[in-house]
Amino acid sequence: MRCVIQRVSRACVTVGGELAGSIGAGFMVLVGVQNGDGEADAAYCASKISGLRVFEDAGDKMNLSLADVGGRVLLVSQFTLLGDARHGRRPSFSDAARPEEAEALFLRLKALLEQAGLSVETGRFRTHMEVELVNDGPVTILLDSRKGF
C-alpha cells in the first residue's frame, strides 16, 4: 500500500460538482493499493499515519501528531500511485490491485484510522474526483507498506 501524506491547512474533494469530503487542518492522504496487499499493509499505514509527528510544537519543531493537534484526515483512493513509468511513455498499472480488493482495503484503512480516534473523510471510490488542498509547509511524506521507499 502506498500513501502520499500531505500536511494541509484545508482540503476537499468533489465529485460531479458535489462535495464528497472536506477537512480543515490535518492530512490529505492519497492511497494506492497494490496487488497482494492485505490487512498487515493497512495496519502499517494506519499506524504510521496516526502516529506521524509533523506538526510543530511550541518550539517550532515537528514533534506533534494528528491527535496532538486535533487534525483530521481526508483519504482519497488513487490507483495511479502504482503506475510504473520506467519503460515507454504510457505508465503500466498492472501492480494496482483490482478495484474490489482495493476498495475493501481502502475502507479497512479508514476504519483503522477511526479506531485510532481520528476523524476521517473520503472521496468516492472509482469516480472522477477533483481534489483541492492547501499544503501546509509544504510537508509531504511518501509511505510504502513494503518499504520500497
For residue 43, the model assigns a pLDDT of: 98
Q: How far apart are CA 93 and CA 41, in angstroms?
A: 19
In the chain, what are the helix, strand and coil shares in percent, each to the nearest 5?
Answer: 25, 40, 35
For residue 30, the model assigns a pLDDT of: 98
Domains of the chain and CATH, by start = 2-143 (3.50.80.10)
pLDDT tens for each residue of 14-27: 999 999 999 999 99
Q: 6, 27, 55, 78: which is the annotated catalytic residue? A: 78
What are the DSSP E strand ranges found in the chain?
2-15, 18-23, 26-32, 55-56, 62-64, 72-77, 120-122, 130-144
For residue 62, the model assigns a pLDDT of: 97
Is 79 part of the annotated catalytic residue set?
A: yes
Single pTM value for the model: 0.96
Span 78-101, mean pLDDT? 96
The three grid cell numbers given for residue 44, joined into one nine-digit string: 502499517
Q: 27, 55, 79, 106: which is the annotated catalytic residue? A: 79
Q: 80, 115, 127, 140: which is the annotated catalytic residue? A: 80
pLDDT tens for each residue of 31-80: 999 999 999 999 999 999 999 999 999 999 999 999 999 999 999 999 99
Q: Give yes or no for residue 148 having a pLDDT over 90.
A: no
pLDDT tens for each residue of 106-143: 999 999 999 999 999 999 999 999 999 999 999 999 99
Is 80 part of the annotated catalytic residue set?
A: yes
